[in-house]
A = this chain, B = another copy of it.
C-alpha cells in the first residue's frame, strides 16, 4: 500500500459507486492502473466490503444505546458472543478492559423496542450486571478508516 492506493481508497470511501475512470481523473492515474490497484486491494483483503450508509432517521431506527455487560464466569463468554451476534438490534459488540466485559451498541425504532432488546441482553446466560447509556444525539460517526490513513502522508488530493 502506497500513497496512490490511499488516494484511491479515499475516493471509494467518499463514493464507492464511482467507476475507475472517475477515480482516474481525480488522482491523475490511468484507468487501467486504477482498476488494477483496486483489484489488488480487493483480493488481498484491504478492501473488505463496499456498502451503503442509510439515513437511520428515515429508515426508522434512529434510537440507540450502549450497554455495558459483566459476565459472571468465563464459561459463558462464547454463548454470550454467539447470542449477541445473532441479534439484529445489536449492531456492535466489543470485548473491553475494565469493570465490564463487553460494550454493546443497540439500535431500535422506539423506546419500547429498545426496552425489549435491553431485556433480552440481560437475560442471556451468565450476564450478571449491566449498565445502560442512551444516546441523545450522534455528534460524529465516521465509518471506515480513511482520515487516519492519511495522517502520515503529505500530499494527497
Contact = CB atoms under 8 A, between A and B. Distances in A.
A22 interface: no
A151 interface: yes
Contacts of A147: 88
A107 B66 contact: no
Interface string A102-146: 110001110000000000000000000001111111111111111
A59 B94 CA distance: 20
A111 to B, nearest CB: 12
Interface string A45-71: 111111111111011110010100000
A69 B107 CA distance: 22
Contacts of A131: 98
Contacts of A44: 58
Interface residues of A, number: 68
Nearest to A98: B133
A1 interface: yes
Given A52-B47, A52-B49, A53-B143, A95 B17 contact: no
A105 to B, nearest CB: 9
A35 interface: no
Contacts of A139: 81, 84-85, 93-95, 102
Given A88-B151, A148-B61, A50 B16 contact: yes
